[in-house]
Structures are given as C-alpha cells and as structure tokens.
Amino acid sequence: MQELLKYQELDSKLRKRNAELQNNENRAKANQMQQYMRDSQSKIIVLDESASKTLQMINKLKQEQEKVVEKIEKILKASNNTEDELLQNEEEATKLAEVLSKIERELTNIQNKLVSINKDFEQLMKNAKTAKSNLIFYKQEYEKAKQQIEPQIETLLKELQAQKKKVKPDMMAKYQSKSEGKIFPIFVPFTNSRCGGCHMEVPVGKIKELETNHYIECENCGRYIYKI
C-alpha cells in the first residue's frame, strides 16, 4: 500500500503541474484573442458583403436619379403649343420632382449606412490589430511558463514510471481503472469511521471487510478506502 500511496502522491503532483499549464491565465487570454480574431474575420466578411450590396443600391439609385433629371430637363426644354400641354407638362414635372426628392432621401439614408459600415470596419480592423498584438504577448508569456513547468512534468513522469514498477499489479489495475475519472485522490484513508474522500460513514459490515482486506471501495463516491 505504501508504494501505491507514493505513486498517488507523484500522480497528484503531476496533475497539479498539468493543471497549471491547462489553466494558465496567459493561455486562456491567448485563446480569447484567437477567438476574437476569428469572430472579427467573420464580421469583416459580413460587413464587406453589406458594403458591396449598399454600393450596388447607391449606383442603382444614382442611375434612376439621372433618368429622372433627364426627363425633367426634357420637359423644361419642350415647346408648349397649347395651355393643356403646358399644364400636362407642369404636372408631370411636379411628379418627377417628387420622385427625384424621394430618390435623394433614399440616397442620403443609404450613404449614411455606408458611412456607418465603414466606421464599423475601421473599428474592427483596429481591434483585430490590438488583439493580434495581445495574442503575441500572451503566447510569449505562456511559453515562459511552459519552459519552467514542462521539465518538472518530464521529471515527474519518469519518477511515476519508476514508482509504478514497485506497485503490485492488482493494486495498480484498480488505481488505473479510476484514474481517468473525476475522482481524485483514488485511495483515501479510513478516518473516524468515514471515507477520507466523501466523508460518508462506512457501514459496520464494510469496516470488518476493511480490517481483513486493508482496503474497500466506497459505496458512495467509488474511491478506495484504505487502512494501514
């Protein structure tokens, strides 16, 4: 049992070192920057498509505007032979002027939309540039942490492999059967008639089994309770 507990102690240290890397603040921030840059790229594509469509709408309205202006100019240049023709041309010119006014309002709104799109695009590019700079910094800081911790992990892995050879195969099999789960430590002491992991009271019948076999499986948390 002592050899297994030494193995578990080394395993615990190894898990902590791996967790330090996994939960490293700079690593998390670097991942955030990468995600932000991916999201920004998607938004830039959407803005680019929107800007393209907006420009098409502006060009279409300008073409319509030119046609209306040409019609108005034609009416103004026309020779009006009769009073009826004069009234008719004035009415048509008035209607065309209203259409022209509507087109100009639409143009103004759409052009304002394009200005807004350009502002959003510029802000996104600025933020993406900042995110890229931050990403480089956080990656560098994370690499520094890796350079410090990875040699410790390698040393612990070697010690763990060496210690594994000292543990009885049947005990190691029980340990490894639960080592990928969420419970840790896997072997816990019998303390005040309770499981050293979940602190549930051990039934009397199980205590007798523990006295004989020196370890039992906790019925509540699944850990192995040992008594030396």
pLDDT for res 145: 94
Phi, psi of 30, deg, nearest 5: -65, -40
Phi, psi of 215, deg, nearest 5: -160, 150
Tokens representing 114?
A: 């394009």
For 59-99, give the secondary structure using H, E and C. Answer: HHHHHHHHHHHHHHHHHHHCCCCCHHHHHHHHHHHHHHHHH
pLDDT for res 205: 87
Residue whose token pair is 């920004």: 40
| Strand pairing report for 187-191 and 224-226 | parallel
Phi, psi of 95, deg, nearest 5: -65, -45
Residue whose token pair is 């999201």: 39
Residue whose token pair is 């502006």: 58
pLDDT for res 132: 94
Task: Look up the pTM and report it.
Answer: 0.70
Q: What is the pLDDT of residues 65-101, one digit of tens each?
A: 999 888 888 887 776 667 777 778 788 888 888 999 9
Spatial separation of the C-alpha atoms in residues 9 and 29, rounded to whole Å = 31
> Which residues of the chain fall short of a pLDDT of 50?
none
The amino acid sitting at 16 is K
pLDDT for res 180: 84
**Sheet hosting strand 224-226, strand order edge to edge:** 194-195, 187-191, 224-226, 215-217
Domains delineated in the chain: 10-165 (1.10.287), 171-226 (no CATH)
